[in-house]
Amino acid sequence: MKSTKKASLLMLVAVMVFILIAGCSNNTNTGSNEPAPAKKDNNNVSEPAPAKEEVVTLDLFIDHSWWPVKEWSGPIPEEITKRTGVKLNITVATDDKQLPLMIASGDLPDLVFTSTNAQRLSDPNLAYPWSELIAEYAPDFEPHPDKIAVNLAPDGEYYTIRNNFSPAEEWKANEEFALQGGADVGFRKDIWEELGSPAVNSLEDFDKLLGMVKDKYPDMVPLVLNPTDTWYMGFFANNFGVNFKGMYDDNGELKYALRNPELLNMYKYMNGLYRKGYILPENYAFKNEDQAKELITSGRGFAYVWTSGVGDRLNSDTSGNDLGMVFTQIGKPLSDQAKITRSDTGWSGVVITKENKSPEKSIKLMQFLLSEEGQRLAMWGIEGQHYKMHAEGYPEFLFDKNNADVQNKEGSYWWGLLAGTAVMEALWNYVPGSETTKASLNWTKIMDWKPELGLVKAEPDSAEQVIITNLENMIKNEGSKALLASSEEDAEKAFQNMVDQAEKMGMAKLEAWANGEYTKIKANFNK
């Protein structure tokens, strides 16, 4: 099989980043009942699988222990099966160690949906290169070149196409309704109004509000954190204008997150919330979001750190109870230095393993799910039954799309993430006048696009990847000591201890390597 050379990879990536940075600038109203046209993946799929074709059941391992949907059931998955001839038998990871053990033992299912282990699985001994399967089974499947570029492995092949990525032209074609989100805080509007509707325009205001809740409602947990660090750390990191992990660009030089003095201030602020009794210590030990969410939906919690859709989702999840809860959300930055650095090159993707019982069915399933038709079905539902297209170009849903129980019943949204684009996810969120849309408009204003940063990636099992893994594990373990410290002084000491340990683990060596890669990438981008 022909292998892509490194120079070609850099040139292709350069083109991708150049057009991505140029995205989202001018409003466009197409006046059509379809999203504005843009270059798409040439998937050429529209017909259902032949009626007499045997349906194949493929085993899918989801490498995300918090994944809420565990069964391939409901009208939407059934329609996907009808159109592709594939059913999925779902296994959700128990923890982040399960898949690495499976890889080491060679005990792999047909398909793996993963983020952190995608590089490790990008090995011809473990998985099929998509180009090989496309050439043999789906020659009319032509993924967008930018999506190939950001998923290329060191051998020049691509073994998955991650979701949550869209080329700039897709953003441009849908910029009026495909808004960016971020971590946010939802809170009890009814209780907030009982407290006199105090202003929440700064981090200090937020602190004061939680204090008012604790004083007036001593049995209530003022602040509940979603256990995914993207959300619970992300909200505070965004408001301090920092990356809480990985590298950041300091005037053209890459530095590891622990170098940023504002990260210490973020830890100190979060520690202050804990020391004042606003956050339960056991919250940091929660393993899945159900543990955290239950505190809120049962009425025992006041505020919840989650996604930019937190207000609408909580209102939906509690609409059937008799507690009279109403939620709103902060929906805006709480500091002048707030910034969200987006270095997205995708989140998670499906890998087709060498243990796969039907590679042909598998690549054709991915072809369908990556098509516009497949994305709409998997994420939005069946047109006319679950949604209709507004004349201006966004979906109007005919069911309670934010309700988790309804999502499970219909099989909506989550299976769309197996291969959905960032634009399709953003269009799913758009509802005129909703809490989510208002918040997304505000978060989009503070986005700083640096996709080239996301392309500085270490190869699996390389010395650099070992350092990265060790740093991330250390921060996960030692960071809690700063967050749960009994005094600000102890929080500072715990943070400094992280920095000291990071130095011993090779943080400076990692930075030197990263800057070498970054220089080459940027040089190609500027050609």
Q: What is the DSSP string of 184-213?
A: EEEEEHHHHHHTT-----SHHHHHHHHHHH
Long-range contacts of 454-457, Cβ-Cβ distance < 8 Å, separation of 24 or more: 454/150, 454/343, 454/344, 454/345, 455/13, 455/17, 455/150, 455/345, 455/521, 456/247, 456/254, 456/514, 456/517, 456/518, 456/521, 457/119
Rounded CA-CA distance 413/279 in Å is 31
In this prediction, residue 107 carries a pLDDT of: 96
**Residue 90 near residue 374, CB atoms below 8 Å:** no
Beta strands 221-225 and 301-306, pairing class:
parallel
Residues facing 342 on adjacent strands: 449
Rounded CA-CA distance 456/194 in Å is 49
Tokens at residue 447, please? Answer: 């986005």
In this prediction, residue 24 carries a pLDDT of: 38
Regions of the chain with pLDDT less than 50: 1-38, 46, 527
Cβ contacts of 322 within 8 Å, gap of 6 or more: none
At 253 the three-state DSSP class reads strand
In this prediction, residue 450 carries a pLDDT of: 83
| Side chain identity at residue 512, one-letter code | A
At 254 the three-state DSSP class reads strand
In this prediction, residue 352 carries a pLDDT of: 99
Burial of residue 299, with CB atoms counted within 10 A of its CB: 0-12 exposed, 13-18 middle, 19 or more buried:
middle
| Cβ neighbours, 10 Å, residue 33 | 12
The residue among 479, 500, 504, 511 whose CA lies nearest residue 266 is 479
CATH 3.40.190.10 intervals, the chain: 6-178+346-436, 183-306+456-527
| Side chain identity at residue 186, one-letter code | G
The residue among 180, 174, 181 whose CA lies nearest residue 27 is 174
H/E element holding 268? helix 261-275
In this prediction, residue 8 carries a pLDDT of: 46
Tokens at residue 166, please? Answer: 């869209």
| Side chain identity at residue 386, one-letter code | H
Query: Dmax over Cα atoms in the chain, in whole Å?
Result: 70
| Cβ neighbours, 10 Å, residue 446 | 18
Report residue 60: phi and psi, to 5°. Answer: -120, 125
In this prediction, residue 319 carries a pLDDT of: 86
Q: Find how far residue 99's CA is from the centre of its chain.
A: 19
Residues 158-208 pLDDT 10s: 999 999 998 878 888 887 888 887 899 999 999 999 999 999 999 999 999
In this prediction, residue 417 carries a pLDDT of: 94
Architecture of domain 183-306+456-527: 3-Layer(aba) Sandwich (3.40)
At 273 the three-state DSSP class reads helix
H/E element holding 495? helix 488-505
**Does the domain spanning 6-178+346-436 belong to CATH 2.70.98.10?**
no
**Residue 289 near residue 228, CB atoms below 8 Å:** yes
Distances (CA, A) of 219 to 225, 226, 497: 17, 20, 35
